[in-house]
Amino acid sequence: MAARESGPGESLDAAPAPQADSYPALDVPLKSALARATHGISPAAVSAAMLDWWSHLLASPGKQVALAESAVQKTLRWGLFVQQAALGDCSPCVTPAPHDKRFARPQWQQWPYREWSQAFLLWEQWWHEAGTGVRGVTHHHEEVASYVLRQAVDISSPSNYVTSNPEVLQETLASGGQNLLRGAANWWRDAMAVATDGRPKDAEQFAPGRAVATTPGKVVFRNRLIELIQYAPAHRQVHPEPVLVVPSWIMKYYILDLSPHNSMVKYLVERGHTVFMMSWRNPGAEQRDLAMEDYVQLGVFAALAAVRRILPRAPVHAMGYCLGGTLLAIAAAALARDGRSPLKTVSLLAAQIDFEDPGELGLFIDESQIAFLDDVMAERGYLDGRQMAGAFALINSKDLVWSKLVREYLMGAQTPLTDLRAWNADATRMPARMHGEYLRRLYLHNDLAEGRFPVGEHPVAVRDIAQPMYVVATERDHVSPWRSVYKMHLLTDGALRFVLTSGGHNVGIVNPPSGPGASAQATFRAADRRAHAGYRDPEAWFDSTTPQRGSWWTDWADWLAARSGRKVHAPAFGGTGARRLEPLDDAPGRYVHES
């Protein structure tokens, strides 16, 4: 019996998706043009924050005096440093932040570049002081103003210019200027890719189903929002409980099934698990009215129902990554509320549930920003993932913007395209209605953590989830800060294992234990919290938890195995009997190819 499309879920009691004809005729084209120029960031929101900061600074003579004194002190410190440096070696008057590698090379320790870099770092410190601690500025506006000032200061870094960067000058002299010619060619290539919405050079080498997303499997279910992939077993005997993976809807699922050497799916299959993967459709204008409720009903609930048809008596290990983890927590709470949960365990990877402190991503989320995006989405019915990718790049601009400028446009290097970078460029879209709902209800109002997020006719509570939980955060996560992810300790009373791994939002998760993709520097911290145990704050947890070398994957695999039954014969694709789901396509399916 072939899989059929499930019906739409109950729509949330929310305003319908914005329509272009419901706005004054000039609004939508203007705001769409602004969005392309600003990577979707609202100029009004930024202007309001800067005006709040500037007006309060003008009305704070005490702060002005403190800044003047700081400027004099820093100038004197720099002058003393220059004097001592002229007489011989001396200690720097200011050191960069641990993650700032712009001036780490030996060339920066020579005159006059040493003096320039020290002046810049003192200048950077002063502007940070100017942007923070101004009485009367709202917390959100202070964060935005400090961020904008930091971006403006970064533009003036001596590392960004040919004449003040000794590494670039050395390469220019050695190559006779060929690096600058190659850099100009690199810039033109990237400019044309942006202008034509093209993908990076050589991205075709990482096409899903050929170089990435190659773990064998079958699509066993499809509806208008998801495909469900069942992967072929690696062994005759498997654990009876399947693993259902819920990826984020803002990314293609195959980040969890990249190349064979770093595929989490392949790793789980080889460890004796039957793995099911949800693959989200890349929505277009016709899906503009899909709501968050549809992503629960047509997404997680539909996938669970299909898995239960294939393995009707087996409880499910459910795992969600990023916003897929947030959606899984919503679904798990709704199932617990209704007393019909088929879940055995719940694993959340780099997934926020409490959005009160979303980190620097929260800089771009307030009512002004969301209203701006509503207007932008009204034209086409969706938000282009490239706009979101641009905002993410600006959050981590030192690594993703300025270092690229130096490496590729000044040094003339070409960064090799990797499977992870190719995946990152494979952008997805978000339906207008769903995207507005998720920004307002999760980020702006924190409805999920505070018990107001509705599924069906009633809200859900995360504390109702009784299954053992495995929660992973990453140390350098700009999307889901680890202390925010740690708040799961406050939201549930059940047994919980919390893991903090090295790396960022993607690299920290895609962290195989061996092979070419393994990191020799990878570490993780892990500790169990018993059900109904007392609370430890994140700093106390960090200080008392010993780091372990290696990948957290092995720890998670052991945790899953300890909560799985004795192995049984591997199930057939789509199951058996009258309720069997007829396989539709080979993995990776159709939806992953939509662009």
User: What are 96-133's pLDDT values in tens digits?
Assistant: 888 888 999 999 999 999 999 999 999 999 999 999 99
Q: Is the dihedral of CA 212, 215, 218, 219 positive or negative?
A: negative
Task: Give Cβ neighbours of residue 38 (< 8 Å, ≥ 6 apart).
Answer: none
Q: For every one of its 595 residues, what pLDDT tens digit does the chain have, with 9 covering 90 and above?
A: 444 344 333 333 444 445 444 545 567 777 777 776 676 788 888 999 999 999 999 999 999 999 999 999 999 999 999 999 888 877 888 988 888 889 999 999 999 999 999 999 999 999 999 999 999 999 999 999 998 999 899 999 999 999 999 999 999 999 999 999 999 999 988 888 777 766 777 778 899 999 999 999 999 999 999 999 999 999 999 999 999 999 999 889 999 999 999 999 999 999 999 999 999 999 999 999 999 999 999 999 999 999 999 999 999 999 999 999 999 999 999 999 999 899 999 999 999 999 998 877 788 788 888 888 888 887 788 887 666 665 665 566 556 577 888 999 999 998 888 999 889 888 888 899 999 999 999 999 999 999 999 999 899 999 999 999 999 999 999 889 999 999 999 999 999 999 999 999 999 999 999 888 778 889 999 999 999 999 999 999 999 999 999 999 999 999 999 999 999 999 999 999 888 999 999 999 999 999 8
| Contact call for residues 468 and 563 (beta carbons, < 8 A) | yes
| Contact call for residues 243 and 275 (beta carbons, < 8 A) | yes
> Which of 184, 183, 185 shows the shortest CA–CA distance to 408?
183
Gap between the Cα atoms of 54 and 60, Å rounded: 10
| Contact call for residues 158 and 120 (beta carbons, < 8 A) | yes
- Predicted TM-score of the model (pTM): 0.89
For the record, the structure tokens of 54 come out as: 């500037």
What φ, ψ does residue 275 adopt, rounded to 5°?
A: -110, 135
Q: Specify the pairing of strand 523-529 against strand 548-549.
A: antiparallel
Cis ω for the linkage preceding 92 (within 30 of 0) = no
Region at 347 (left for phi over 0; alpha for psi -120 to 50; beta for the rest): beta
For the record, the structure tokens of 365 come out as: 């989320």
**Catalytic residue check, 322:** yes
pLDDT at 392: 60
Q: Is the dihedral of CA 415, 416, 422, 424 positive or negative?
A: negative
| Contact call for residues 166 and 411 (beta carbons, < 8 A) | no
- Please pick, among 145, 238, 322, 491, the residue that the annotation labels catalytic: 322
DSSP 3-state of 514: coil
pLDDT tens, position by position, 273-283 = 999 999 999 99
- C-beta neighbour count of 88 within 10 angstroms: 6
